[in-house]
Amino acid sequence: AQSVTQLDSHVSVSEGTPVLLRCNYSSSYSPSLFWYVQHPNKGLQLLLKYTSAATLVKGINGFEAEFKKSETSFHLTKPSAHMSDAAEYFCVVSGAGTYKYIFGTGTRLKVLA
Amino acid sequence: DTAVSQTPKYLVTQMGNDKSIKCEQNLGHDTMYWYKQDSKKFLKIMFSYNNKELIINETVPNRFSPKSPDKAHLNLHINSLELGDSAVYFCASSQASGQKGYGYTFGSGTRLTVV
């Protein structure tokens, strides 16, 4: 069975400072991992994905995430936050051969001017 | 041209009514999904179809019935609506075909409010 835990429900950063959104996963299989972003009253957009290739994954809008098997983590980072990054972020896990993706409970990112 | 389109975007209806939400994708994907997002933003899968075949059917009341006339369409019909059905319903599609790692493409959501 797969599961994913987002360790922070809310994160606040100042504009121009680094962003770290934490995600731990559990999977019986070699997992695929994703980060999605949801802006207010919008749908979900894929930021990046890990599928057993390079462990450091680069996504859109300057975000990246590192897959660490030993720590079962897939944290999302960005060197410098922008006001437009304020949104809800979801970490997602999927196991091999399964169509079902399991979403984390989300982390709301607030960017302060 | 919208990749995954849902209609309607907003739906306000009274308890006890029956309503449908439609979803269409033009990406050529073979798998479609319905997710429910509650007021706390938690996303939970409801159904999934692969090439018109139901492959995921989570613990959802029988009042919810999905229908997939072809692999580009997945509709959701809800009978006897209840207050607790109020949520945002997202349609999504992916190219699964037994290979892992394909992300979903989501529609923009249908905000259902039952009064």
Establish if A10 touches chain B: CB-CB under 8 angstroms: no
User: How high is the pLDDT of residue B96?
Assistant: 66
Reply yes or no on whether the pLDDT at A106 is more than 70: yes
**Rounded to whole angstroms, how far apart are CA atoms B86 and B66?**
17
For chain B, give the mean pLDDT: 90
As a whole number, mean pLDDT of residues B72-80 equals: 96
Reply yes or no on whether the pLDDT at B115 is more than 90: yes
Query: In terms of Cα–Cα distance, which of B50, B68, B66 is closest to B58?
Result: B66
User: How high is the pLDDT of residue A67?
Assistant: 94
A97 pLDDT band, cuts 50/70/90, is low
Establish if A3 touches chain B: CB-CB under 8 angstroms: no
User: How high is the pLDDT of residue B41?
Assistant: 87
Reply yes or no on whether the pLDDT at B100 is more than 70: no
**Rounded to whole angstroms, how far apart are CA atoms B46 and B34?**
5
Task: Decide: residue A62, CB within 10 A, 0-12 exposed, 13-18 middle, 19+ buried.
Answer: middle
Under a CB-based contact definition with an 8 Å cutoff, are residues B42 and A105 in contact? yes
As a whole number, mean pLDDT of residues B52-57 equals: 84
Q: For residue range B19-53, what is the model confidence (pLDDT) as tens digits?
A: 999 999 999 998 899 999 998 888 998 998 988 88
Most B CBs within 10 Å: which of A25, A32, A91, A101, as the mutation test of the B interface? A101
User: How high is the pLDDT of residue B98?
Assistant: 43
Reply yes or no on whether the pLDDT at A96 is more than 60: no
Reply yes or no on whether the pLDDT at B105 is more than 60: yes
Chain B residue set in contact with A, beta carbons under 8 Å: 31, 35, 40-45, 48, 50, 55-56, 90, 92, 94, 96, 98, 100-101, 103-109
The token duo for B62 is: 């029988």
What is the per-residue DSSP string for B37-93? Answer: E-TT--EEEEEEEETTEEEEE-S--TTEEEEEEETTEEEEEE-S--GGG-EEEEEEE
**CA A54, A49, B24 angle in degrees (round to 5)?**
150
User: How high is the pLDDT of residue B99?
Assistant: 52
- If one compares A98 and B53, the residue with the highest pLDDT of the two is B53
Q: For residue range A24-80, what is the model confidence (pLDDT) as tens digits?
A: 999 877 788 999 999 988 889 999 999 877 889 999 999 999 999 999 999 999 999
Reply yes or no on whether the pLDDT at A113 is more than 80: yes
